[in-house]
Amino acid sequence: MTSPDEIRTTVKSIIASIKPFAEGFTDIRDDDPLFRDGSGRASPVNLDSLDALDLAMTIGEHFKLDSEEFERLVESEDGLGRLRTVNDITALILSLTEGDQPVARLANLQGKEVNA
């Protein structure tokens, strides 16, 4: 099983391959926003919607996330928008690979309630 730290490092590497940085992927903190949004919080990464789709597809392939929940997330612009930080992405990967109530965790990431 892959640890959360290993997942975070891999996610950061994937982000850096999509949008290279002068200093490398260590510039991305786990809770930094990955996208520009209306919150006023600056994003050191500034991924756009095409980058987000590329990120989701690469993560899905790398971690072998073939579940229906992941596919629904990738197909939903709102769902992709909820994966705002490396921590968000790590939580999703863990929920889909560990079998620890993945539907409930995914719904939580998507801002929905699930009665489990």
Q: Compute mean pLDDT per 10 residues along the chain, 116 residues long, and list them.
A: 89 89 68 76 79 86 78 69 84 76 43 40
CA neighbor of 88 nearest in space, from 21, 20, 37: 37
**Confidence at residue 64, expressed as pLDDT on a 0 to 100 scale:** 84
**Domain membership flag for residue 9:** yes
45 assigned to some structural domain: yes
The reported pLDDT for the residue numbered 99 is: 57
116 in a structural domain: no
Q: What is the pLDDT of residue 40?
A: 62
Side chain identity at residue 84, one-letter code? R
Residue 10 is predicted with a pLDDT of 94
> Per the structure, how many domains does the chain have?
1
Residue 55 is part of a domain; what is its CATH number? 1.10.1200
| pLDDT given for residue 19 in this prediction | 85
**Reported pTM:** 0.72
CA distance 97 to 58: 16
Predicted pLDDT at 79:
66
